[in-house]
Each structure stands twice: as C-alpha cells, then as structure tokens.
Amino acid sequence: MRRFNFTMPHSLFISDLHLCAKQPRSTEVFMHFMRHTAPDADALYVLGDLFESWAGDDDLDDPFHQQIIRAMRALAESGTRLLVMHGNRDLLMGKALEQASGAILLPDPTLLDLYGTPTLLTHGDTLCTDDAAYQDYRRQVHETAWQRQFLNQPLAQRKAFIEQLRARSETEKQQKNSSLMEVNDAAVSNLLREHNYPRLIHGHTHRPMHILHHLDGHTCERWVLGDWGRNANALRCGRGGCEYISVTPARSSPA
C-alpha cells in the first residue's frame, strides 16, 4: 500500500453525510471534521448529499442550516477551498447557498487534475442504470421546468412533499434488490472511456471500496466514498495517491 506524508499538500473527499436536525451525531462529527481535519487540506470536495434534503435556498434561514453554513464559511475563509456537488437529496442547492457558505457548486461530473492525476468526480447516481425507475425520476427532477414549478410552491408544501418522497424511498429501498442500487459496470466503463480513463471518485452507494478497472489497456482506480451513518470516513488524496481516513472522533461520553 502506498503511504505518503499527510503534512504534504492534499485534498479531502466526502459524500452522503445526509445532515439533518434529526441526526445530531452526524452533525457533531461534521463540526469536528470541519474544525480539526478539513483546515489542513488544500480543498474539501463534498460529492453530493451533504444534506438529507434541501427544499430550496429560501430555507437558508433555518437554524440547523445556519449552523452548517457557518462551519462551511469558516472553512472557506480559513483558506481551504470548498467545492460541493449536488446529490439526489440536495439537488436544489443554488446560488444563495453558494454565497452564504463560501462554497463553489461543481457540475456533475467534474474532471480535474489532482496533483498530477486526472480525476473524475461524480455523485454516482447516474451510474446506477439498472434502476430504470430511479433514472426516470432523476431525468424528471433535473428538468428546469420541473424545478421552477416545484420552487414556486410554498416552502412548507415542498418540505411536506420531500418528506413523503423520503418515506417512499425508504420503503422502496427495503423492497428493491440490492443489486439495483449498485453501479452498473458498463455505465462505469462508458464514463471512464468518455473522459479518457481517469481515476474516478464517487459516492451515493454508501459502500466504500477501492476497485481497479482494467479497460482498453488502461487501469483506472475507482474510489467509492462511504456515508456518514455509522463510520464517517473521508478520502485523502495527494501526490502519492489516495487513502481512506476515519473521521469519527472519540465519543465524549460512553453510549
């Protein structure tokens, strides 16, 4: 396993935190991470589903959102670049959130030169092509007209709709064959080919793993980020390569 000195320049990647007022533990871990781990990085990339839900930027004043946004702004102002990609849960994050938090919203996918290695970032839901029903839903909610119509509804109504959707998706997740929620190999290959065989980093599936794809004579690394449900983790990448790090602080009191 390649090891490198993490006092050297590095960037951090996280996704699927699903932050919400109902999950104080994840919020606590996030606050600790933003204060103690993230400031040493050149950049922090959040690859989708930072929030469990985002009804629209007119919900910025919510006290829970304000708490998260203050931590984001503090990091951005400390000199660590903060780059945030939409997930399926927080698709409606927009300009006002960007301005309030100091974060820059990234298009999905984004190709970057990461310390000399071409690296492609995506949330990962577009790779789950076996789930046709989900892909239909995704196409619909990505339409500008759909989003405009949705955002025209009162905030309370939007929140109620999202809550219904969330409950339904929980039920469906239990009924769906788990392979439906995994990435499709051909979709991964197509994406890698399309971007000239980069390293790939994504989230969404909540199953952290490091895989090598041998494709057309190239070897592409794929790093999958884990969710922050039980064991919060981050991926740290520098010139020497990438490595998972645990970001769960010791509990202040035994549970």
Residue nearest to Mn ion (CB): 204
Residue 224 Cβ, how far from Mn ion at the closest point, in Å? 12
Handedness of CA 52, 245, 222, 101 (dihedral sign): positive
Phi–psi pair at 238, nearest 5 degrees:
-140, -160
Residue 204 Cβ, how far from Mn ion at the closest point, in Å? 4
Nearer to Mn ion, 49 or 59 (CB): 49
Nearer to Mn ion, 29 or 85 (CB): 85
Exposed, middle or buried: residue 23 (CB in 10 Å: 0-12, 13-18, 19+)? Answer: middle
Do 125 and 91 contact (CB within 8 A), yes or no? Answer: no
Nearer to Mn ion, 110 or 117 (CB): 110
Nearer to Mn ion, 158 or 204 (CB): 204
Residue 34 CA to residue 102 CA, distance in Å, equals 14
Residue 149 Cβ, how far from Mn ion at the closest point, in Å? 23
Give, in degrees to the nearest 5, the angle at Cα 158 between 152 and 162.
140
Residue 89 Cβ, how far from Mn ion at the closest point, in Å? 6
Residue 201 CA to residue 193 CA, distance in Å, equals 15
Residue ranges with strand state E in the chain: 10-14, 43-47, 81-85, 104-106, 110-114, 117-122, 199-202, 209-215, 218-224, 233-238, 241-246
Residue 49 Cβ, how far from Mn ion at the closest point, in Å? 4
Chain positions contacting Mn ion, by CB under 5 A:
49, 87-88, 204
Q: Is the peptide bond before 109 cis (omega within 30 degrees of 0)?
A: yes
CB count, 10 Å around CB of 139? 10
Nearer to Mn ion, 49 or 108 (CB): 49
Nearer to Mn ion, 90 or 243 (CB): 90
Residue 127 Cβ, how far from Mn ion at the closest point, in Å? 11
Residue 200 Cβ, how far from Mn ion at the closest point, in Å? 16
Nearer to Mn ion, 49 or 130 (CB): 49
The token duo for 189 is 């290959």
